[in-house]
A = this chain, B = another copy of it.
Amino acid sequence: MDPLSRAHAEALDAADPLAAFRERFVIADERRIYLDGNSLGRLPVATRERLAALTEQWGAELVGGWHEWIDVPVRAGAAIAGVIGAREHEVLACDSVTVNLYKLAMAAHRGGALLTDRGNFPTDRYVLEGIAQERGAELRIFDGDIPWEGAGLLVLSHVDYRSGALLDLPAITSEARERGVPLIWDLSHSAGAVAIDLHDAGAELAVGCTYKYLNAGPGAPAFLYVAEHLHAQLRSPIWGWFGQSDQFAMERDYEPDPTVRRFLAGTPGILGMVAVEEGAVLTAKAGLPAIRAKSCAQTDLLIALADARLAPLGFTVASPRDAAARGSHVSLRHPEAWPITRALITLHDVIPDFRGPDSLRLGIAPLYTRYADVWDAADRLRGLVSRGEHHDFPAERDRIT
């Protein structure tokens, strides 16, 4: 069978061990092909039920519900731990990626330059810029090789949010530990899509978001990971009552909790938090080995289709061609990427992400994306560009991309 035929894609779906997981998500429109799970994942059916139940619990149990809710950041964290190869007591769900990165960076930085690469996600660069100003530290935004000399903290994204390039987490972690440079991994674009074993790699610090491949909803609480051997040493800069060792003994000075809870700050948002737990539990059920295998096969298929059918229309693949060096999204560059994005959404119900200046980002969430969806998306994209349909759309970009 032609490996680039739709029939072949259908055959892959028929043999897919994860196929049944699609039914666990709300699919409001069967024609729509959603390739933006790397900005916001779909709604799990179980989460819809859990949110309704939580709302009822608030109404009925009122403040009594806190007997259960008090542990939700730790329980949701334990569920995430199973997805990123951490131990259960090393992960918390709380705050946003930005706030969590700030907490860990302030805790881990004890002098020296603050390093990150120019391609890192903006909020990660901004957080380091702010800390550099507060502490009068050097900020070093680098291109290419890591300039280790004089480094006091390194922050890296595991998967590049534009190209999809996947860094070698174990190797870089090893080098950082040999050099004694604290390293914080941002797992926002890999958690739930790429097999990660933080414990095995000896990684000490990480943050990540849950609204992408963990399907926890718009602006869902983020997570943070601190390896157990650092719990006693590191202190959050934000001293809050949820990080206090005996939270309800109100009369004492601050003394951080001995566990990872010391990185909690204020009262956690329970509505968002239960969605994090549901999303992480669902992901763990499917298992990262199966998710990663399907993700690689699907991004491979997309790249093969792009080479065969889209390259003649001016597209170039901007993501690594080796699946082992790639996360779960593929970026396609095209000089008219913006109007093509608008036409693809508006006329053909395929939802990618535009990333400036000239890329369509196609994110594949293997739990609910079929091989046939990948084939259809590439086919609709080819059709619209070959017919010039994007010429009817404005060339300038919108506020939200």
Contacts and interface: CB of A to CB of B under 8 A. Distances in A.
Interface string A201-217: 00000000101000001
A275 B265 contact: no
Interface stretch (A50-58, A191-199, A313-321, A369-377): A50-58
A40 B355 CA distance: 42
Contact of A29 (B26, B52, B60): B60
A122 B67 CA distance: 20
Contacts of A243: 126
A204 to B, nearest CB: 22
Interface string A42-86: 110001100110010011101111110110000000000000000
Contact of A237 (B122, B134, B221, B249): B134
Given A48-B59, A239-B130, A97 B267 contact: yes
Interface in A107-133: 121-123, 125-127, 129-130
A40 B59 CA distance: 10
A264 B121 CA distance: 17
B40 A218 contact: no
A238 B269 contact: no
So how many copies of this chain end up in the complex?
2
A59 B126 contact: no
A99 B97 contact: no
Contact of A126 (B48, B51, B130, B241): B241
A208 to B, nearest CB: 12
A399 interface: yes
A102 B219 CA distance: 21
B218 A271 contact: yes
Interface string A222-250: 10000000000000111111111000111
Contacts of A268: 96, 219
A200 interface: no
A243 B270 CA distance: 24
A270 B218 contact: yes
B43 A55 contact: yes
Given A219-B273, A272-B272, A266 B98 contact: yes
A26 B66 CA distance: 18
B400 A218 contact: no
A400 B130 contact: no
A266 B222 CA distance: 10
Contact of A40 (B63, B98, B125, B219): B63
A353 interface: yes
Contacts of A145: none
Contact of A63 (B237, B238, B240, B353): B353
A43 B60 CA distance: 9
A34 interface: yes
Nearest to A255: B126
B55 A267 contact: no
Given A126-B254, A129-B239, 11 more contacts: A48-B55, A52-B52, A96-B265, A98-B242, A122-B241, A126-B241, A130-B254, A134-B237, A218-B267, A222-B266, A269-B272
Q: Which 7 A-B pairs give the minimum distances between C-beta atoms?
A: A96-B266, A98-B266, A130-B239, A98-B240, A26-B59, A43-B59, A123-B241
